Structure 1
Amino acid sequence: MSELDAAYARCRALNARHGRTFFLATRLLPRRDRPAVHALYGFARWADEIVDDGRHADPAADLDTLERQVEDELAGRPTGHPVLTALADTVRRYRIDHGLFGDFLASMRMDLHTTEYASFAELGKYVHGSAEVIGLQLLPVFGTVAPRAHAEPAAAALGRAFQLTNFLRDIGEDLDRGRVYLPQDVLHAHGVDRELLAWSRRTGRADQRIRRAIQHVMAVTLATYREAEGGIELLQPAARPCVHTALVLYRAILDEIAAADYNVLDKRVVVPNTTRAAVALPGLLKAVTARAVSGRLTWNRPDDH
C-alpha cells in the first residue's frame, strides 16, 4: 500500500467510526469519489476534536498549528500527517477552493470563546464556516450538470440543514460544554433560558416552553432541507443517490426528536437501523442504475491523475 493509499485508508476509518450516517451514504458514491469524501471528513473531524475532546491544553494554539499545516500541505510542503496528505491530494484533484478551509477553522475558533448566539443571523456567521463550507467543499467531488455556481446555494443549505439538525439533537451535550446554539431570541420568545435548559438536562423532565422553542427551530430546519433538496437535480446523476440518502437519513433525526415529544436534553436520539436500511436500499439501487448509464455528463469534474 502506498503512502497516499494509507492516508486515505486512515480517513476512511475515521469516517466509518465517527460519522455512521454520512459514511453509509458515501457508500452510494462511485468508488473513485469516496476517498475524497473521507479525506474531507477526516480533516473536519480532526479540527472538531481539537475544540471539543478536552485533551488539548491549548486548543487555540493547536488550531493555529493545524492551519499552518494545512497551508503547507496545500502549497506542496508535506507535513507527513496522513489526514493532511489525503486532504491535499483531494483538494488538488477536485480543485477545491483553499479559502473554504480557512473559513472552517475560523468557525472552530469561535467555539473557543462564543457560548451563545443572539439570533439566526448571528448564528449564520458561525454556521457558514462550520457547515456551509462543507457542502461547498463536497460539491466539486459530486460534480454538477450545470455551472457549479448554480448549485452552490443548495449545497450550502444542505450543510446548514445538517448543522441545525445537530444543534437540535445535541442540545444537552452542547450545554455540558457551556454552549447553547439555539438562537437566544427564539428561546426567549418561548420563555426559555439557560437555567431551564440545565434543569431539563439534569432531571430529564420535559417542559412545554422548551418543546415550543425546539419546534420553532425545527420548522426553520425543515425549510432549509427543502431548499437543499431542490439542488440535488443539479448534481451529477451518480452522486444524487448519495446526497438524497444523506438528506433523508439526517432529516429523519427530526422525526425521532418529534417522536420523543421533543424531550431530548437528557438523551441523544438516533435513527433506527431499520429506517436506515429502508432508506439506503433504494438509494443503492438508484446508484447502481446511475452508474450503468453511459455518457455521463462531465461539467466540473476532476483530473484523473
Structure 2
Amino acid sequence: MGRWERALDAAGVREAGLRADYGRQREQVARYKREVALAADLLLPARTVPHVIAAAAFMHRTDTLLDSGPLAERRAASARWQRLVTDSLAAGRTDDPELRPLLNSVAAHPVLRDRVLDFLAATGADLDFTGFATEEDHQAYIDGYSLPGFMVVAALLGPDGDQGDYRAACRTFIDGSQRLDFVNDLAEDLAEGRLTIPEQTLREHGVTRADLEQARDLPAVRALLAALLDRADRSLAEGRAVIDRVPPAHRPMVRCIVGVEELTSAAARADLGALLRRSAGPAKPAALRLLAREYLRARRLRG
C-alpha cells in the first residue's frame, strides 16, 4: 500500500468513489502546485494530508473562476460556484465530484466550513480589484481577500478550538507573503493590466506606472522594489510567530511554508532589475535542503 492510500485510510476515507475523488484532486494540486502536494505528503501527519489537498483544490478551482475570461463571465461563474458550494454545505451533501472531498473534509474538520464561506464571500474583492491608491487600500485587500483565502488551508494546520491568536499571526504572515507576491509577480500583473503597488508608494519613490510597464531599470525603480521587499521581509519575520501557534506535528509544514517565502524573497532581491521582466523563484538546492531538513524533523516527531 502506497503513502497516499495510507493517508486516505488514516483520514477515514473508505468509500471507493470518494477515494477516487480525492485522488483526482491530488493530481490537480500536483499539476499546478507540485511543491505543495509534495510537502504535504512528506511533512504532515497522514490523517491531515487528504483534507489539505481538498482545501487546496477548492482554492484552485475558485481562483481559476476568478481569473479566467472577461470580467462579466468571471463574475457570473463565481456567483454560480458560490451558490453551488453554499447550497452543498447547507445540505451536507453533493453529487459534484469536485465538492465531495471538500464536504467530507468539512465534516472531519468543522472549522473549515466557516473558512470556506468566508473566502467565498471575499471573492468580490478580487473581482473588483482596480489597484490601490494608498497603503490603507492594500491593508483592506489583505483583510478582505488575502487572509480569508489563506485561512482555508491554514485553518486545518492551526490549533483545535479558539484560533484567535493563530489567526492574528497568520494575518501578519500573509501581509508579508502578499507583499512579496505583488513584487515578485509585478511583470505578470502589469501584462494583465493590474498594478498592485499603491499609487501613494509610487509617488513617494518618484516612480511612474510607465516606468514599470516599460521595464525601466532605473535607480528609483530599484530603490522602490528594495523598499517593498524590505517591508515584506519585516512582516515575514514577524509572521514566523505562526510556527509556534500550530500543533507540533504541523510545524515542519508551516516552517517549510515560511521558509519558501524567505527563499523567494532572497531570490527576488538578488536581481531587482529582473523583476521588471519575470518572477523570481527560490534556488532549488536551498529549497531541497529546507524540505529535507523539515522531513527529518517530521520523522522524528512521528517516532
Are 1:243 and 2:258 matched, yes or no? no
| Matched AA of 1:101 | V
Q: Deviations over 1:208-259 (max 9, x none)?
A: 2221222222122112112221121121111000000111012211111111
Question: Contact 1:162–1:250 (CA<8 Å) still a contact in 2?
Answer: yes
- Greater RCO between the two (CA within 8 Å, min separation 6)? 1
TM alignment of 1:33-72, pairs within 5 A: 33-54=48-69, 58-72=73-87
Q: Distance in 2 between matches of 1:51 and 1:109?
A: 9
Q: Percent identity of the aligned residues?
A: 26
Q: Distance in 1 between matches of 2:112 and 2:144?
A: 13
5+ residue gaps, structure 2:
1-14
The answer for the alignment partner of 1:87 in structure 2 is 102
Which of 223, 229, 238 does residue 218 from structure 1 map onto?
229
Which of 139, 142, 151 does residue 127 from structure 1 map onto?
142
Which of 202, 216, 240 does residue 229 from structure 1 map onto?
240
The answer for the alignment partner of 2:274 in structure 1 is 263
| Matched AA of 2:238 | E
Question: Contact 1:172–1:265 (CA<8 Å) still a contact in 2?
Answer: yes
TM-score, structure 1 normalization: 0.86
Q: Deviations over 1:115-137 (max 9, x none)?
A: 21112321222223432124433
SS at match of 1:231: helix
Q: Distance in 2 between matches of 1:14 and 1:156?
A: 27
The answer for the alignment partner of 1:8 in structure 2 is 22
Question: Contact 2:226–2:272 (CA<8 Å) still a contact in 1?
Answer: no
Q: Distance in 2 between matches of 1:143 and 1:99?
A: 14
TM alignment of 1:268-287, pairs within 5 A: 268-287=279-298
Q: Distance in 2 between matches of 1:46 and 1:271?
A: 25
State the Cα RMSD in Å.
2.2
Query: How many aligned positions are there?
Result: 288
Are 1:25 and 2:36 matched, yes or no? no
Deviation (angstroms), 1:161 = 2.7
Q: Distance in 2 between matches of 1:166 and 1:87?
A: 27
| Matched AA of 1:233 | D
TM-score, structure 2 normalization: 0.87
Deviation (angstroms), 1:148 = 2.4
Question: Contact 2:112–2:156 (CA<8 Å) still a contact in 1?
Answer: no
Question: Contact 1:164–1:221 (CA<8 Å) still a contact in 2?
Answer: yes
The answer for the alignment partner of 2:171 in structure 1 is 156
Question: Contact 1:26–1:242 (CA<8 Å) still a contact in 2?
Answer: yes
